[in-house]
Structure 1
């Protein structure tokens, strides 16, 4: 199942620790073809993260508008939370394209993001110094950016392959002087490919999807995030035709420097790794198929970005597979 989601700006990173790509977007059965027709996925996403040092000070530098020649002491802590609801309508075409199955979709989100900074920020210019102490916070409840996606998938028995392209249309709530946002303030394009091994007889499944993100310049701040690389994976065991359990994980690494950052931040390349459990359940909804999935990630090895934990609760409804096909979260014709 492709689990779609984007975090609020308050929690994830390149500029001020904020990236377009939300790690964990793909997981188990990501590359398996679907059943032609309309489907709808709804995701409730919660995250709680924190950051210290440069990842926290970067946000203060952005909203405080400190000149590039000012030195900054990084004695700060950032805490952020978000509760988001995402809607992802998708249409899967019946006519093959390049021998594969084409699907297009659009994701939008609504929710609440909050963040607060605590500690001290000392700035110096020549013999002069100024210190900002204490704490301040911000929150917003609004809509986020739009995220179109196109996928092309192929099936060869237990082997499934995919390629995808997606991106950010920056129409969500965003203010460069605000601590918490639901938009990122700039466009982005992301593309990559994936593989799923699924053996319905044994119930074994493993998926991995990798991609790169190119970020366009934020015209409000004249800041441009570097290029990002990411890998999402999921492994599961079907306990029956309706229930599976397993593990999910991701790795995210920025591979080129940001442009337009404060000199003390350097290239400000961000990194994080996450892993956690998942459980999925399939059930009929009239003449459609329902799917419920719960997964969670604990993060570690973070650099220049907040880290913590996040959970995804996904409900989707889609056309049911014809008789004679296997019906996991993405339907596959057995051979």
Structure 2
């Protein structure tokens, strides 16, 4: 079940209803194959991930970004990540444990209408391949009820490792710490060829001191169903719900009535798994369409992820 490793990775580009129209989680990308399974085999697992997101924010609504209010925004994000998961050799009954770190690099192009006195002007900004905010999970606890029912508990921590300039619209950092407690569950059927996985979490953000803005808590729950065949291929569907449950805070957030956001997404997944002697590999591609979106970017996220275990 190497693919379960992918689900533990913080392969998430930021797009919630928070400062900049962005947050930690993209709707539908927080659950992946075998989300509730901590791999049973001790040792090191490596993964590469790619997320593409192109979205828009309504031009008739104000958006807080870099300490100012913009009217609408067009943005394209590309996130590349390298992740390492170490599964501990120690076990306690039905529990096993792991630790994870993800190092991401991002490219962003965006444009927005920004107020300049009584006038609005279109401003564009971008960066290419910069270090983004690093995320890590010191302890991931996996519980195996039996061979077909699995649970994973973790707290992901996103550290503001990227650079941040409050005078720029595009920054490779949220300039805040984000803590995400997560519960993931996986159930298998039909001799393991059918999988249902669900992951739920809440993003808690600290204040961005450069703009005196704090994003409110964001709840997200994503679920997927997969059917796999003996040749290694799999097909499935995925859906997600993101709901901001706490108001943003700060002078600009107060003017925008807390700027709470919401979104739904649905899409499809194709995956492939292969094992050769002691080495296993897994590749997964998913595409989703967002809808019923309020106070956040709206687009069609795509994620490609691959992992290898040895």
The aligned length equals 298
Alignment gaps of 5+ in structure 1: 67-73, 124-129, 320-335
Q: Considering fraction of residues, name the structure with more strand.
A: 2
Cα deviations by residue, 1:85-134 (Å, 9 ceiling, x for unpaired): 1111110112114741111010011131110014x7486xxxxxx1223x
**Cα gap change, 1:81/1:287 in structure 2, threshold over 3 Å: closer, same or farther?**
same
Cα separation, 1, equivalents of 2:165 and 2:106: 16
TM-superposed CA distance for 1:83, in Å, is 1.5
Task: Name which of 21, 34, 44 aligns with 1:38.
Answer: 44
Aligned to 2:217: 227
Task: Name which of 117, 135, 143 aligns with 2:131.
Answer: 143
Alignment gaps of 5+ in structure 2: none
Cα separation, 2, equivalents of 1:291 and 1:28: 10
Cα separation, 2, equivalents of 1:261 and 1:97: 49
Structure 1-normalised TM-score?
Answer: 0.83
Over the residues paired in the alignment, what is the CA RMSD in angstroms?
Answer: 2.1
Cα separation, 2, equivalents of 1:95 and 1:259: 43
Aligned to 1:256: 246
TM-superposed CA distance for 1:250, in Å, is 1.4
Runs of 4+ in 1 over 3 A off after TM superposition: 53-57, 120-123, 284-287
Is 2:73 the counterpart of 1:52? Answer: no
Q: Is the 8 A contact 1:56 1:78 kept in 2?
A: no
TM-superposed CA distance for 1:210, in Å, is 0.8
Q: Is the 8 A contact 1:192 1:209 kept in 2?
A: yes
Cα separation, 2, equivalents of 1:13 and 1:184: 13
Task: Name which of 85, 105, 128 aligns with 1:90.
Answer: 85
**Cα gap change, 1:111/1:192 in structure 2, threshold over 3 Å: closer, same or farther?**
closer
Structure 2-normalised TM-score?
Answer: 0.89
- The 3-state SS of whatever aligns with 2:64 is helix
Cα separation, 1, equivalents of 2:223 and 2:73: 28
Cα separation, 1, equivalents of 2:274 and 2:89: 23
